[in-house]
Structure formats: C-alpha cells, structure tokens
C-alpha cells in the first residue's frame, strides 16, 4: 500500500496567516493526489484534485503544489471558515489511501 | 446538482452483516469518470476507502475484500454495500461519495456495532 505521511498533525494559526500542510507519498504517485477539508460534524469536501487543480466553488486562497513525492496545500490568508481538518488522498493505486489528517485551529 | 444519501441500520450486533444503501441524484453511473465509492471514518479518526464501482467493474480495499460486496441498482439510482462479520472495530460513520476523485459526498450514516 502507498503510505501518505501528512504533517503537521495539528496546527494553530491566526486569521490572515499563510498556512501550509504537507503530504509525503511513500512512492511515486504522479499528480494523482487530492486534498479534502472536513468541518466538525460534516462530510469531507474536495478542495484540490490532480495535485494542483482547484475544485469547483473552492476559494482561490487555496492552492496545491507538488515537488517530487511531496505535496502541499497552501491557504494564502486564513479565514474563520477554514477551520477544520484537512486530508490528503492518493488516487494512484488501490487501495486509495489518505493521510492521517491535519487539525487546523485558530490561534 | 449531485446529491447522495446513505441509509442503513444505526446499530447491529457483532458477527451480523451490514447492509448500506446510497441513493443518488444529479448524475448517472453510466457517465464516464463517475465512480461511486464507500468510505468510513471512526469517530475522531481518519478516512478509509472501502470499495468503488466504476461502470461494470468493482474495486475493493484488499485488507477488507473478503468481507465486502458492492453492487448497483441502476434503475433506482442506488449503490449497495454489504459488509459481513461486523465487529466493534467497524463502528464508524460510513459515507458514499462519487466522482473521479471523491468529488461529492453524502452526509454519512453512523453505524455502531455492539452487543
């Protein structure tokens, strides 16, 4: 199975701050990576797909990037509505695996 | 607008079989790149992919393959999941999701396995 090592596990940031979350894949997955946001008590929502493409309706302050087998999600100016948990997911190989998640809180 | 809704028993006893139904609208399983998947999430923990159905092909998480069966009822816009030999460790919220990635998600159904 492809392991997705996500960091940090938790993050406290201030409004308007730049936030970066990373995922390291245990092997080459190309651009087969997605990022999801999950607000408390809600279902996950797709933010980024194909490593860098913004899903429909997602604010432009979210962006994804790739460097080799390391993937990053960046929130350029943190807003209150961005609070929640974030997960990366590889779609390269069965089983489709997720990172353990990053819990983002307001400082 | 794509919507999905999961239904199933809220509670079952160890060793029983879980039967879940995902009823969807706004899309069709015959649409290219429109797979439908089941995932789960224990309370306070991460996400686990279970199974997907794409066109007429089924895909399973190998670690759970022997216990899972995914199927579809196209005329009803439903995808079904059967999960045998349930145990307390299977207690979780079960989601259906569709899309090439998991583009759209249902609200989830909480399943508790307890004697």
Instruction: Please judge whether A46 and B63 are an interchain contact, meaning their C-beta atoms are less than 8 angstroms apart.
Output: no
For residue A87, give the nearest of B47, B99, B103 by CB distance. Answer: B47
Q: What is the pLDDT, as a whole number, of residue B32? A: 65
Exposure pattern of A2-29 as b/e (b: 16+ CB <10 Å)? bebebeeeebebeeeeebbbbbebeeeb
Instruction: Please judge whether A100 and B99 are an interchain contact, meaning their C-beta atoms are less than 8 angstroms apart.
Output: no
- Please tell me what DSSP assigns to residue A94: S
| CA-based nearest distance A76→chain B, Å | 23
Query: In this complex, is the C-beta atom of A84 within 8 Å of any C-beta atom belonging to chain B?
Result: no
Q: Would you list the DSSP string of B19-51?
A: EEEEEEES--TTSTT--EEEEEE-TTS--EEEE
Closest listed residue to residue A97, CA positions, set A106, A105, A89, A87: A89
Q: What is the pLDDT, as a whole number, of residue B71? A: 95
Across A40-45, average pLDDT: 96
Q: What is the pLDDT, as a whole number, of residue A4? A: 98
Across A31-44, average pLDDT: 97
Q: What is the pLDDT, as a whole number, of residue A82? A: 98
Give B25-35 pLDDT, tens digit per residue.
988 777 766 79
Q: What is the pLDDT, as a whole number, of residue B55? A: 81
Q: What is the pLDDT, as a whole number, of residue B29? A: 75
Residue B100 — pLDDT band, cuts 50, 70, 90?
confident
Instruction: Please judge whether B102 and A36 are an interchain contact, meaning their C-beta atoms are less than 8 angstroms apart.
Output: yes
Edge-to-edge strands, sheet with A102-106: A10-13, A102-106, A84-90, A33-38, A45-49, A53-54
Average pLDDT, chain A: 98
Across A74-100, average pLDDT: 97
Length reported for chain A:
107
Chain A neighbours among B 1-40 (CB < 8 Å)? none
Instruction: Please judge whether A46 and B107 are an interchain contact, meaning their C-beta atoms are less than 8 angstroms apart.
Output: no
């Amino acid at each position: 199975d492809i392991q997705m090592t996500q960091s940090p596990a938790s993050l406290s940031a201030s409004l308007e701050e730049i936030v970066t979350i990373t995922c390291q894949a245990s092997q080459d997955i190309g651009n087969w990576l997605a990022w999801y946001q999950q607000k408390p008590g809600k279902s996950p929502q797709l933010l980024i797909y194909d490593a860098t493409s913004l899903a429909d309706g997602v604010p432009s302050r979210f962006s994804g990037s790739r460097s080799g087998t390391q993937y990053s999600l960046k929130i350029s100016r943190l807003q209150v509505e961005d609070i929640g948990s974030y997960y990366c997911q590889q779609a390269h190989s069965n089983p489709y695996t997720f990172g353990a998640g990053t819990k983002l809180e307001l400082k | 607008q794509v919507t999905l809704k999961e239904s199933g028993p809220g509670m079952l006893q160890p060793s029983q079989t879980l039967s879940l139904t995902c009823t969807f609208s706004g899309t069709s399983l015959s649409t290219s790149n429109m797979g439908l998947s089941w995932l789960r999430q224990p309370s306070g923990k991460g996400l686990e992919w279970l199974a997907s159905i794409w066109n007429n092909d089924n895909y399973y998480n190998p670690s759970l393959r022997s216990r899972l069966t995914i199927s579809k009822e196209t005329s009803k816009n439903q995808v079904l999941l059967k999960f045998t030999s349930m145990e307390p460790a299977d207690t979780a919220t079960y989601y259906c999701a569709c899309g090439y990635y998991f583009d759209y998600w249902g609200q989830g159904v909480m399943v508790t396995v307890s004697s």
